């Protein structure tokens, strides 16, 4: 397979809270512990990557990949407002440095759904100081890791809460009520009258404006330290397909995509995270056909959605695309193997068409903590023993490795 640039990134992705374990100063950690929790189970030790990160890098190297996306945990680096931990900055800097020594490009995420508990209790992204606080954190990260970073993602899927609002159904009402009760419980536990967690927020205009300002401020803070460092954000971008009228597609994109694309036009790249397609009528989500193949999460198996998602992101923003996540929840690993084959075929078409794609990072390196669903779903190329944390590559890891090698 030809056509891929020599510097194309082939890698795998993770997120700190999902793999590190014991992220005790994070807002999500508190939510997991509450009587009102909506989480299936707490994250606990997760994959113990806090102690086993070198094993994780070795797995990526053995697969023949050349990029690793990981996140730095703000709640570890700044456990109390204004108190920065040099030890934790050094920890993440060591991971980035080791990546370089192994020939891996470190793609670093600043915010992968989690924030410090103190930040949430101070209003989160509804707090007018939030952009300044996030930029200050980003500046510390740039100083510690900027030399080795390949790319920086400020926010992971910040459009997700807006997607949830637009696509909600009557069945979502008790879910929303449960989330609100959980957030009120977290506020009480924190001695505050508010506990704002963006991924479970309602996406009001003030929050959104502050978050986008935070992206711009963080970008400026990091560019001040390393002007040539490529910076962008990653968005959840299903392939949106109209069923009948395209009015629903247009409304969805105005609400859940356009505010972010407008800011991304000034970035160095746009991160695309795609897991399938979303079919919309004029005013509702259209369920998959009854006979459609489903994933472990109940979503439609539709790996070819990656191609249109890439094309759309580039067409709207004019920016190069980095596929920061693409994958599948699958108990049967052979389904993951088929997914990767079809997704990379869709990627081939975009590269052949001249769409500027910088790289492909598969989600996920290993089975991990999947937020409110706990450990019930498997996205990983590598299985993790929940007792001893033993890592065992699956057949899909070999499939991915072989498909990548054919494209070099």
pLDDT for the residue 388: 97
Instruction: Concatenate the DSSP letters of all residues of 196-220 into one string.
Output: --GGGS---HHHHHHHHHHHHHHHH
Say how far apart CA 368 and CA 109 lie, in whole Å: 17
Q: Could you tell me if 274 and 306 are in contact, meaning their C-beta atoms sit under 8 angstroms apart?
A: yes
pLDDT for the residue 208: 95
pLDDT by 10-residue block (mean), the chain, 408 residues: 90 99 99 98 99 99 99 99 99 99 99 99 97 99 99 98 73 81 98 95 83 99 98 98 95 96 99 98 90 96 99 99 99 99 99 98 99 98 97 99 98
Say how far apart CA 180 and CA 130 lie, in whole Å: 21
pLDDT for the residue 275: 98
pLDDT for the residue 133: 99
In sequence order, the 6+-apart residues with CB closer than 8 A to the CB of 180 are none
Q: Is 271 helix (H, G, I), strand (E, B) or coil?
A: strand
Distance of CA 152 to the CA centre of its chain: 12
Structure tokens at 271: 């991160």
pLDDT for the residue 168: 63
Buried b or exposed e, range 173-193, using 16+ CB within 10 angstroms: eeeeeebeebbebbbebbebe
Structure tokens at 330: 């699958």
Helices (H), 318-381: 333-352
Instruction: Concatenate the DSSP letters of all residues of 125-174 into one string.
Output: GGSTTHHHHHHHHHHHHHHHHTTT-SEEEEEESTTHHHHHHHT--TTHHH
pLDDT for the residue 1: 61
């Amino acid at each position: 397979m030809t056509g891929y640039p020599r510097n194309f990134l082939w890698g795998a992705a993770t997120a700190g809270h999902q793999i590190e374990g014991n992220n005790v100063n994070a807002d999500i950690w508190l939510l997991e512990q509450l009587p009102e929790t909506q989480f299936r189970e707490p994250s606990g030790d997760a994959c113990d990557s806090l102690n086993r990160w070198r094993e994780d890098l070795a797995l990526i190297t053995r697969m023949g990949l050349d990029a690793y996306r990981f996140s730095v945990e703000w709640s570890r680096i700044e456990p109390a407002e204004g108190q920065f931990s040099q030890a934790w900055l050094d920890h993440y800097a060591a991971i980035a440095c080791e990546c370089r020594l192994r020939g891996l490009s470190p793609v670093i995420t600043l915010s992968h759904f989690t924030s410090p508990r103190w930040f949430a209790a101070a209003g989160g992204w509804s707090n007018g100081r939030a952009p300044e606080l996030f930029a200050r954190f980003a500046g510390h990260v740039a100083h510690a890791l900027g030399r080795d970073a390949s790319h920086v993602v400020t926010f992971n899927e910040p459009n997700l809460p807006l997607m949830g609002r637009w696509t909600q159904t009557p069945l979502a009402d008790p879910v929303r009520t449960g989330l609100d009760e959980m957030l009120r419980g977290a506020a009480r536990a924190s001695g505050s009258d508010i506990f704002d967690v963006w991924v479970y927020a309602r996406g009001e205009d003030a929050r959104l404006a502050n978050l986008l300002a935070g992206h711009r401020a963080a970008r400026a803070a990091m560019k001040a330290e390393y002007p040539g460092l490529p910076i962008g954000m990653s968005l959840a971008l299903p392939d949106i397909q109209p069923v009948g009228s395209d009015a629903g597609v247009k409304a969805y994109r105005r609400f859940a995509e356009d505010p972010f694309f407008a800011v991304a036009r000034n970035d160095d790249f746009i991160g695309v995270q795609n897991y399938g397609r979303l079919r919309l009528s004029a005013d509702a989500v259209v369920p998959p056909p009854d006979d459609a193949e489903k994933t472990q999460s109940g979503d439609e198996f539709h790996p070819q959605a990656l191609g249109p998602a890439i094309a759309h992101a580039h067409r709207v923003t004019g920016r190069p695309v980095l596929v920061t996540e693409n994958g599948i929840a699958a108990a049967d690993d052979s389904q993951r193997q088929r997914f990767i084959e079809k997704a990379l075929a869709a990627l081939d078409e975009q590269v052949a068409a001249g769409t500027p794609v910088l790289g492909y990072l598969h989600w996920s390196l290993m089975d991990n903590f999947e937020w409110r669903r706990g450990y019930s779903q498997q996205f990983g190329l590598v299985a993790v023993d929940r007792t001893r944390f033993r890592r065992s590559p699956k057949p899909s890891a070999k499939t991915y490795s072989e498909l990548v090698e054919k494209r070099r």
